[in-house]
Amino acid sequence: MTTNLTFGDLGLSADILEALKKKGFENPTPVQEQTIPLLLSGEKDIIAQAQTGTGKTASFGLPIIERITPGLGKVQAIVLAPTRELASQVAEELESLTAKRDIRILPVYGGQGMDTQLRLLKKGVDIIVATPGRAIDHLKRKTLKLDDVKFVVLDEADEMLNMGFVEDIETILSHVPEERRMLLFSATMPPPIMRLAKKFMGGYDKVKVASKQQSAANVEQIFYEMYEKDKLRALRRLIDTEAEFYALVFCRTRAGSDRLAAKLSGMDLDVEALHGDVTQAQRERILAKFKRGHSTILVATDVAARGIDINDLTHVINFDMPDSSEAYVHRIGRTGRAGKTGKAISFVAPGEFRKIRNIMEVTKTTIQKAYLPSGQSVIEAKRNAMKAKVFAAAEEEAPQEFHTLAKEILDSGKPKQLLASLLKMHFGGSMHPNAYPEIMEPERRSAAPSRRGFDRRPSSSRPFKSFGKSGKPHKHEAAVFKKKKKAHF
């Protein structure tokens, strides 16, 4: 979201404005519009409630770059971030805003070579972007001096507290001068955040940006009810049905992420797993591969996904439901960006319906219940996708050697059989509805308990808005329903 104001209206210098223009930025986001003037002209600390993707890095980065002394070679600002990825991303963004000023910025986090960090710190650095743990390491070594710090930024403060960094943050703050400005950015404002503010901040201005959830008009939000054991089959069904599937899939645990990624990989899908046990080198390789589209599914935990910013995601899948509405908003905000549409899909297991209901109440958003497509609908979708890809490929001229090879193959006299073999080789997978057995929807208490069990139809036997009405249940399932009905009545 942009406003009618331009960056030129906020009091930034000409060289900074030129750097923003080269990046294609003309209008500030709401958090930038409110925060930048306060940091440039005021002297108070700032608490800003804003989510990832709202432009908060530039909102604190631009004023800091304006107000520190270029070429001093002493740490004048320290930005604390919860994850390596976010620290690296913030440092990279700040670097792009320096407008050729002699300002040295160094990301400091675990997984990097300590020798490299020591060498660069010794040469002199103006802005440090660090994870709390690695900042503590350098303070203990006395290789990081914060005596000249003018600005302290806590980015994603709520997440740092959730990860148990509160003591580390307090230790770091005890090393900075009392005469410094503190900027706290957080998506939520739980009591621990306010206690931290009361303890370490003086008088402060408060900035609040409307929740991204209120502007998620480009994100279609739906949920499916299913048993835990059916989630993998449901996910595969959706992957095979959707025309495009470039997705971030959320799991609750590291072990769960690894298990799901392994099973999807066994289905010949291009998938990677990202969680806290992944080394920094592996993380960078995984994210680079995913951003280039060489893998199309990234299975991640909430903590590992912090800082990931990819504009072209088509789907966010809550394979495991988040524990809070705030986590849900963070997750789904990663699709439907840059004017594109996206889809947020949640798998709701028995006993979790209250979670999805609470999310709707807190975010004031309707999340539509949907029903999985039938096996026949999946096959039709796959057939249509295959034909579309083949016809699209035929629009591009192939080199002459392929024309020669095609003629030789067609001259064999078995064009239909040969084409079918080529399609199977290229696309693989089964084209029979039996490959997608029906998935039962869990039983949930209703106003008519006497019919519990009988109403548990396969989820695909009801209308699904993208595919119309599906076929009948399989014979063995019909027998189960008949048996249950007889036993009940």
What type of residue is 470? Answer: S
Is 174 in the same domain as 321?
A: no
The verdict on residue 83 lying in a domain is: yes
Do both 201 and 93 map to the same domain? Answer: yes
Strands across the sheet containing 204-208 = 105-108, 127-130, 77-80, 151-154, 181-186, 45-49, 204-208
For residue 371, pLDDT beyond 60: yes
| 2 domain residue, yes or no | no
Question: Does the pLDDT value for residue 427 go beyond 80?
Answer: no
Contact present, 59 and 20 (Cβ < 8 Å): no
Q: Are residues 43 and 16 in the same domain?
A: yes
Least confident of 185-199, 278-292, 307-321, 383-397: 383-397
CA dist., res. 102 & res. 260, Å (int): 47
Q: Which of 169, 180, 166, 176 is nearest to 144 (CA)?
A: 176
Same domain, 72 and 149: yes
Q: What is the four-CA torsion angle of 187, 190, 192, 197, rounded to 10 degrees?
A: 60
Q: Which of 193, 210, 227 is the last residue of a domain?
A: 210
Question: Is the pLDDT reported for residue 154 higher than 50?
Answer: yes
**What burial letters (b/e) apply to 185-218, b meaning 16+ CB within 10 Å?**
bbbbbeeebeebbeebbeebeebebebbbeebee
260 versus 312: which is more confidently predicted?
A: 260
81-109: pLDDT as tens digits:
988 878 888 998 999 999 999 999 999 99
Q: Look at residue 234 in the predicted model and tell me its pLDDT.
A: 94
Q: Which domain holds residue 450?
A: 436-488
For residue 248, pLDDT over 90 is answered with yes
The pLDDT of residue 111 is 76
Neighbours of 280 (CB within 10 A): 14
Under the banding of pLDDT at 50, 70 and 90, the label for residue 432 is low
Residues 41 and 160 grouped into a single domain: yes
Q: Does residue 1 sit within a domain? A: no
pLDDT of residue 53: 64
Q: Judge if 441 and 424 occupy the same domain.
A: no
Is 319 a residue whose pLDDT tops 70? Answer: yes
CA–CA separation, 97 vs 7, rounded Å?
13
pLDDT at 277 over 90: no
Decide: 453 and 463 in contact? Cβ < 8 Å: no
Angle, vertex CA 334, rays to CA 25 and CA 359, nearest 5: 125
**Of 355, 370, 385, which one is at a domain's C-terminal end?**
370
Count of domains forming the chain: 4
